[in-house]
Amino acid sequence: MSETRPISLWNVGGVHFGQGAVAQCPIGLAERGCTRAFVVTTPHVSNLVASLLAQLAERGIAAEVWDRLAAEPTLTEFDDALRTARACGADCVIGLGGGSVMDVAKLVAALFDGRQQIEDVIGVDRLAGRTLPLVCIPTTSGTGSEVTPIAILEDEADELKKGTVSRHLVPDVACLDPELTVSMPRAVTASTGLDAMTHCIEAFANRFAHPIVDSFALEGVRLIAANLQRACDDGGDLPARAAMLRASYYGGLCLGPVNTAAVHALAYPLGGRFHVPHGIANAILLPHVLRFNLEAAPARYAQIAAALGVERTGNDLRDAETGIERIEALSRACGVTGGMSAHGISSNAIPHMAAAAMTVTRLLDRNLRVVTEEDAFRIYEAAL
Ligand SMILES: [Fe+2]
């Protein structure tokens, strides 16, 4: 947590924010001389796709649309996207959608030239470069993937999500337009918003925390505490949607230089094996991991509690515990209820899940407390 520790923020350029920001996408691509865009998206946002294609056409850019993601992306689906992009002769890639869509777009742009295969680049700093321009346009407020150097795919063979981390995955341009998020259903608003909250909390209370990132993290927590329920209760509340999109962006800014920790590590097996949506998996585990971590840094967790709106009493531990109760109350108010068993996970699965979580060392190494396999087992039991 030293101010002198060097950190690198790759993701501070090329960000357009506000109503109409999406217009910057075709402008930026035309300036780069692009004429054929590969658009990764989903059928849920087909009206937004139609509008984007019209704007691209106005700038002389043709487009091939790939919208075959069933849920969170698998290696097989990624291969299909990459083959389609190559077949159509794309000279740029656009991701229009949530985190899954943007992660696929990022990896297609990075691996398009065939120099490396996906298996070669899973892990940290293994990507040699990226030849195709890349624009990301989020339609959810959660992953912050539009500004992160991270992409996650599910490896169906071992039922675990695998991450690629490289500065070459950071999009050239991110267009953040709150109007694009208003049609998000309540459940998606809740789960993605709680994911963004988890990014901010795990980056603030982290072995690699840094004062530059702390500012984004605390502001993100404050914005989510004040706006998530509003956005859930009234999807058309544009100021709340804008605040959530900003919070998601701040969470994304935390992920490159600091990243997350044990909540995300333990959430991976819930997604990989049981297909629990990423944000829900985090929301289920967050209070339990925080209670486990609390003793390692009560003062840090008390600062998070203050950002959540808890009035400080001078007793850090008590304030931090009140903060966890606030998070639980916010989740309930947004309709996120029930533990792992509500998603079909029984206690029989816990030993396998605890062993799988232990393999996510790139995140566990960042946690403020060492998490043993037995600790993971107990946290899963508490979250059942
Ligand atoms: Fe996340």
List pLDDT tens digits, range 130-154.
Answer: 989 999 999 999 999 999 999 999 8
Please report which confidence band the pLDDT of residue 11 belongs to, taking 50, 70 and 90 as the band edges: low
Interval between CA 199 and ligand 1 midpoint (Å): 6
Interval between CA 17 and ligand 1 midpoint (Å): 21
pLDDT surpasses 80 at 8 = no
The mean pLDDT value for 25-51 works out to: 95
Pick from 114-118, 205-209, 273-277, 344-348: least confident: 273-277
Please report which confidence band the pLDDT of residue 271 belongs to, taking 50, 70 and 90 as the band edges: confident
Please report which confidence band the pLDDT of residue 216 belongs to, taking 50, 70 and 90 as the band edges: very high
pLDDT surpasses 90 at 200 = yes
Instruction: Give which of 278, 290, 301, 261 is closest to 195, Cα–Cα.
Output: 278
Tokens of 109: 């742009």
* CA dist., res. 19 & res. 293, Å (int): 39
Interval between CA 252 and ligand 1 midpoint (Å): 9
Cβ-defined contacts of 298-301 (< 8 Å, 24+)? 300/204, 300/205, 300/209, 300/368, 301/205
pLDDT surpasses 90 at 13 = no
What is the distance between the terminal CA atoms of the chain, rounded to a whole angstrom?
Answer: 33
- Give residues with Cβ within 8 angstroms of 33, minimum separation 6: none
Interval between CA 23 and ligand 1 midpoint (Å): 27
The mean pLDDT value for 160-176 works out to: 91
The per-residue pLDDT for 1 is 60
* CA dist., res. 165 & res. 227, Å (int): 30
pLDDT surpasses 80 at 270 = yes
Interval between CA 59 and ligand 1 midpoint (Å): 35
Please report which confidence band the pLDDT of residue 155 belongs to, taking 50, 70 and 90 as the band edges: confident
Interval between CA 368 and ligand 1 midpoint (Å): 18
Interval between CA 255 and ligand 1 midpoint (Å): 9
Q: What percent of the chain has pLDDT over 90?
A: 89
pLDDT surpasses 80 at 158 = no
Interval between CA 194 and ligand 1 midpoint (Å): 9
Interval between CA 33 and ligand 1 midpoint (Å): 34
pLDDT surpasses 90 at 3 = no
Identity at 225, one-letter amino acid code:
A
The mean pLDDT value for 58-72 works out to: 93
H or E element in which residue 163 lies? strand 160-165
Interval between CA 357 and ligand 1 midpoint (Å): 15
Interval between CA 182 and ligand 1 midpoint (Å): 21
* CA dist., res. 372 & res. 189, Å (int): 33
Interval between CA 329 and ligand 1 midpoint (Å): 20
In the block, residue with structure tokens 């600091």:
258
Interval between CA 196 and ligand 1 midpoint (Å): 7
Interval between CA 35 and ligand 1 midpoint (Å): 33
The per-residue pLDDT for 2 is 67
- Burial level of 109, CB count in 10 A (0-12/13-18/19+)? buried
Interval between CA 172 and ligand 1 midpoint (Å): 21
pLDDT surpasses 70 at 12 = no
Interval between CA 12 and ligand 1 midpoint (Å): 19
Interval between CA 206 and ligand 1 midpoint (Å): 15
pLDDT surpasses 90 at 197 = yes
Instruction: Record the pTM.
Output: 0.94
In the block, residue with structure tokens 């304030």:
319
The overall average pLDDT reported for the chain is 94
Q: What percent of the chain has pLDDT over 70?
A: 98
Contact, 162 vs 74, CB < 8 A? no
The mean pLDDT value for 111-136 works out to: 95
Interval between CA 268 and ligand 1 midpoint (Å): 10
